[in-house]
Amino acid sequence: MPIQWYPGHMTKARRLILEAMPSQDVVIEVLDGRFPRASENPVVTEARRHRPCIKVLAKSDLADPDVTAAWIRAFEAEVRPSPGDGLPPGKVVAVALTMNRPQEATTKLPELCKQLAPNRVGPGKPVRAIIVGVPNVGKSTLVNTLMERKVAKTGDEPAVTKAAQVCVLRSGMVLTDNPGITWPKIEDEETAYRLAFGGAIPDSAIDYEDVALWGAKFLLARYPDEVVLRYRLEDVPVSADAALDAIGRRRGALRSGGVVDRQKAANVLLRDFRSGALGRISLESPDDHR
């Protein structure tokens, strides 16, 4: 079934980003490291134009490390400017956005922003960076990490941040955090499923079983051993339907008569992927887009 989600508040959020963009020196686009291309918002790409961009692969501690390394190489090639265009290069950094490992963000990002805005030095000229991304990707967690205290509300579901927020780091750098936005129409079906399976689209807007079947099919093709290990299966299921039934039986998601409750089984699979319980898994690689 088609997956679309563009609630009314996103129109306002998009306008806020467009209004703020001209005053920004650097764009920090937060991507989900498990599906970086799917979480790359074309609205942001259009709005930032030629501004230098740092693409942060958040949740990289949940992603396949080999695939993350391939994405970093791919994005570095993309953000590198053409010779003679006078623009500084963009940067890509994989950051595990967990509060017990803050050094990766607090040490790397401010310095990268300074490198990309060399004219913003001296009193009264702080580097100004805007943080953007799709919902539930880790923008507010990044702000809290950089501020070294909780200033932005976070949660395990999309659309927690409702309004723009301006913060000033110890270094004087000014950050503007914005609500996560998708785009009005997601044309690519695989992109929509990756966003839904990964939690960037709220559960109220998706068909649990449909999305879980997509995820099960993907996992059986790319990470079958992780599925077998997590659910203590004897063999790799022959299909996505068989996998969902096996998960339901193993986790006691049964109705009267021993029939598998597919909604509950789907919930188990989605929660296990999103939390990292299935292991370090990436839902796409650069090769998928060649």
In tens, the pLDDT along 3-35 reads 878 787 888 888 888 888 999 999 999 999 999
Q: What is the mean pLDDT of the segment spanning 45-74?
A: 90
Provide the Cα torsion 191, 193, 197, 202; round to 10°: 90
151 vs 202 pLDDT, higher one: 202
User: Which of the residue ranges 137-141, 201-205, 231-235 has the most confident prediction, judged by mean pLDDT?
Assistant: 231-235
The per-residue pLDDT for 140 is 81
User: Which of the residue ranges 89-98, 142-151, 228-237 has the most confident prediction, judged by mean pLDDT?
Assistant: 228-237
Sign of CA dihedral 139, 219, 94, 51: negative
Going by C-beta distance under 8 Å and a sequence separation of 6 or more, which residues neighbour residue 34?
Answer: 59, 62, 63, 198, 281, 282, 283
* CA dist., res. 19 & res. 21, Å (int): 6
Q: Please say whether the beta carbons of 103 and 96 come within 8 A.
A: no
Q: Which CATH class is domain 9-177?
A: alpha beta
Residue 51's alpha-carbon distances to 45, 174, 189, in angstroms, are 10, 16, 30
Yes or no: is domain 207-289 CATH 3.40.50.620? no
Confidence of residue 185 (pLDDT cuts 50, 70, 90): confident
Confidence of residue 100 (pLDDT cuts 50, 70, 90): low
The per-residue pLDDT for 158 is 44
Structural tokens at position 174: 């000014």
Structural tokens at position 97: 């956005």
Q: Is the pLDDT of residue 220 over 90?
A: yes
The per-residue pLDDT for 79 is 73
**What are the boundaries of each domain within the chain?**
9-177, 207-289
As beta bridge partners, residue 176 has 130, 166
Confidence of residue 159 (pLDDT cuts 50, 70, 90): very low
Confidence of residue 86 (pLDDT cuts 50, 70, 90): low
* CA dist., res. 116 & res. 127, Å (int): 9
Has this prediction a pTM greater than 0.85? yes
115 vs 67 pLDDT, higher one: 67
Q: What is the mean pLDDT of the segment spanning 76-103?
A: 64
101 vs 281 pLDDT, higher one: 281
The per-residue pLDDT for 13 is 85
Determine how β-strand 165-168 pairs with β-strand 174-177: antiparallel
The per-residue pLDDT for 99 is 47
The per-residue pLDDT for 98 is 53
Q: Is the pLDDT of residue 161 over 80?
A: no
Going by C-beta distance under 8 Å and a sequence separation of 6 or more, which residues neighbour residue 126?
Answer: 120, 168, 172, 173, 174
Mean pLDDT rounded to a whole number for the chain: 86
Q: Is the pLDDT of residue 83 over 70?
A: no
Confidence of residue 269 (pLDDT cuts 50, 70, 90): very high
How many beta carbons lie within 10 A of that of residue 137, not counting itself? 29
Determine how β-strand 91-94 pairs with β-strand 26-32: unpaired
Segment 225-263, tens digit of pLDDT: 999 999 999 999 999 999 999 999 999 999 988 899 999
The per-residue pLDDT for 180 is 86
Residue 75's alpha-carbon distances to 38, 135, 142, in angstroms, are 13, 21, 20
